Amino acid sequence: MTALSRSYHAGRRYPAQAAIAVALTGVMFFTFLFTVAALWARCHLAWWIFPSAVLAAIVTALATVPSAMREGASLSVAAATVIVVLAATGVAYFTVDSSFDGIYYHQEIIAALCNGWNPFAPPYDIIPPYTPWAVHYAKAVEISAAAIVSCTGAIETGKAINIIAVAALAACVSTCLREQGGRLAAHSRLLTAAAIANPVVCAQLLSYYIDFYKYVYLVWALAAFIDIAARRRRGTVTLFMTLVLAMATKFNIFFEAGLWVAAAMVWWGVRGNGVALKRVTLTGVAALAVGCALTYHPYFTNWLQAGHPLYPLMGEGAEDIMTGNTPAEFLGRSRFVTFFLSLLSVNLPSVAQPIGGFTPLMPLILILSLWSLWCLRGKIPGAMLYAAVLVTVSCFFFEQAWWARYICQLWLVPVIIVIAAFRAGVAAKASRLTAWLMIAAGVSALLFTSKEMLVRGGYQQLMLHTAAAEPEVLVTGQWWGPQFERHMDEAGIHFRYVTEMPDTTGRTVLYYYEQNDPLIIISAEGADKIRKSLESLHFNYTRHEYHSAR
């Protein structure tokens, strides 16, 4: 990263923007930190945790980038951070996560935490126990989201943490590009938009899915490495927060985050940059130490309960969730074959599109990127080529190389090549076209998934609104959990849970989500209102969001 750090020193400084990037990253870190501290102290989640985290993030950012204070930008940094947080919360409130995993898994965790479940205290399980994934998986995002929900009182607002993370990603990339100077600064908006337009990020942004965080954390880490090479304090702070969050978000991200640090150490060791090597090593050790305390749950609690820190993926009684989710045409084929088959498939984007999840534009994006790389031969900085190769290799660590949600880091390959092409001033037309195609891919993913969410969410909200007018609504089903209770309470529904299907004479039974329970039992008149409203909405409900019990 020597060439990059040299140009970094030569460019202008943007302390206010740099501080905003640190602050937004800090919002997620401190929300998680303060919430876990409350759980360690055996306290219930309180409304003040999230505002306190925002304040701590702003103070940390100004302390990390003191030049922002010297230039009188403290108020601007604080205002920008608060505006992003409020806007993210507003957008999250007015959008409905109607994805299956979002409702049945992630919201289950969030609602249970808000209801008083403490995974850091015995007996660790949700009482009564629900899905093993909710109990045993890492859950930094859900813990942070629960703090937001405890502040606002609305379960959908927890998705604001996603928007804040992506805003931090944009601020981080933009700052890095502008401080490089030259062509990168001149085209920083286009390149930043291309970087954040990852279809996996855009598809999951307004849901509770968390796969895209691997990409977010990786970009944060790369920007931190550049700052560390340039001997900037904010690089160490950003890397520390990123690594702790990576440990606590998903098992696979924890594993790969360790490889990112190891790769940086190898690079600086070979290049003889002892200062950067020392800083990244100490930061990694510090993050691991703090991360172990903050991830007592799930890693140590899993060990105590199930004999393996990565249960239920590993250990006695491990559950195979991938075989059943693997398309029939991919069974028995190598990860390399399925990788290319998936990339070349044409499918519309969705929150967790299993085949062709990078949109049909991805093959063209990669072809143009390879052309730009050919034109760049001898002109691309070694650090950028090193990063691109390692990212490509990392896509094949796991068998599910065909599923975009698990290899979302692949998007970084064209990002790196396009940035290198703009920096060197080669393949101008191809690199510009690639950037615009990347933006188009991201926008299409956001639009298609938003429409899908609107259709499903529209049905759910219509059903809840209609049920709220009923004197009493009966609910039943084995999937009934705290998240559905929360939905009912927020909608003002008078409901009663029954363990067995009651007599439904004069009533209609509705599926809450497609053809999955819980089942909502309302009057025939209420069901008729829903039916008529659906007809007037002119949506194409091809996925059968409305069902009567058969």
What is the tens place of the pLDDT at every residue in 266-301? 999 999 999 999 999 999 999 999 999 999 999 999
246 phi-psi bin (left φ>0, alpha ψ -120 to 50, beta other) = alpha
Mean pLDDT for 57-76 is: 94
Distance (Å, rounded) from C-alpha 217 to C-alpha 259? 13
According to DSSP, residue 516 is labeled: E
Q: What is the mean pLDDT of residues 464-470?
A: 89
User: Does 425 share its domain with 516?
Assistant: no
pLDDT of residue 549: 44
End-to-end CA distance of the chain: 63
Region 233-242: mean pLDDT is 96
Q: What is the pLDDT, as a whole number, of residue 550?
A: 43
Average pLDDT over residues 501-525: 83
**In-domain check, residue 445:** yes
* Distance separating alpha carbons of residues 320 and 196, to the nearest angstrom: 32
Preceding peptide of 66 cis, ω within 30°: no
Residue 300: exposure state from Cβ atoms within 10 A (0-12, 13-18, ≥19): middle
Coil/strand/helix, residue 509: strand
Domain count, the chain: 2
Average pLDDT over residues 90-95: 95
Report the alpha-carbon distance of residue 219 to residue 195 in Å, rounded.
Answer: 9
Residue 10, pLDDT above cutoff 70: no
pLDDT digits (tens, 9 = 90+) for 511-520: 887 777 888 8
Asked if 224 and 239 count as a contact pair (C-beta separation under 8 A), the reply is yes
Q: Could you tell me the CA-to-CA distances from 415 to 12, 106, 384, 390, 514 in Å, in that order?
A: 22, 30, 10, 14, 38
Residue 536 pLDDT greater than 80, yes or no: no
Answer yes or no: is 12 within a domain: no
Domain end: 452, 478, 496, which one? 452
Digit-coded pLDDT (tens) for 193-236:
999 999 999 999 999 999 999 999 999 999 999 999 998 999 99
Query: Of the ranges 60-64, 99-103, 127-131, which is most confident?
Result: 60-64
Q: Within a domain: residue 339?
A: yes
In this structure, is residue 340 part of a structural domain?
yes
Residue 279 domain-assigned (yes or no): no
Whose tokens are 């499903």? That residue is: 456
Residue-by-residue DSSP string for 345-403: ------TT-SSSTT-TTHHHHHHHHHHHHHHTTTTS-HHHHHHHHHHHHHTTSSS-TT-
The mean of the pLDDT values for the chain is 90
- The sign one gets for the Cα dihedral 415, 207, 20, 57 is negative
Split at pLDDT 50, 70, 90, the class of 547 is very low
CB contact at 8 A, 142 and 108: no
Please give the share of the chain, as a percent, with pLDDT higher than 70. Answer: 94
Whether 408 is covered by a domain: the verdict is yes
Note whether 479 and 446 are same-domain residues: no
Residues 6 or more apart in contact with residue 120 via CB below 8 angstroms? 36, 39, 40, 296, 297, 301
pLDDT given for residue 109 in this prediction: 95
Verify that 409 and 476 share a domain, yes or no.
Answer: no
**Residues 368 and 421: beta-carbon distance below 8 Å:** no
Give the tens place of pLDDT for each residue, 355-393: 999 999 999 999 999 999 999 988 999 999 999 999 999
Lowest pLDDT segment from 156-165, 216-225, 410-419, 502-511: 502-511
Q: Clarify whether residues 432 and 388 are in a common domain.
A: yes
pLDDT at 346 over 60: yes
Q: Distances from the Cα of 388 to the Cαs of 161, 360, 414, 418, in angstroms?
A: 28, 22, 8, 11
413 and 478 part of one domain:
no
Choose the final residue of a domain: 422, 452, 482: 452
Is residue 430 domain-shared with residue 336, that is, in the same domain? Answer: yes
Verify that 530 and 435 share a domain, yes or no: no
Residue 513 domain flag: yes
Is pLDDT at 546 greater than 50 in this prediction?
A: no
Q: Do residues 330 and 447 both lie within one domain?
A: yes
pTM equals 0.93
> Can you give the C-alpha Rg of the chain in angstroms?
24
pLDDT band at 477 (very low <50, low <70, confident <90, very high): confident
| Residues spanned by the domain of 475 | 469-537
Question: Is the pLDDT at 320 greater than 70, yes or no?
Answer: yes
Residue 305 clears pLDDT 90, i.e. is over it: no
Instruction: Tell me: pLDDT of 257 over 60.
Output: yes
Same domain, 349 and 431: yes
Asked if residue 479 and residue 434 are part of one domain, the reply reads: no
Mean pLDDT across the stretch 66-77?
92
**Amino acid identity for residue 111 in this structure:** A
Instruction: Report yes or no on 233 lying in a domain.
Output: no
Confidence of residue 4 (pLDDT cuts 50, 70, 90): low
Final residue of a structural domain among 452, 484, 508: 452
Same domain, 441 and 506: no
Statement to judge: residues 387 and 424 lie in one domain: yes
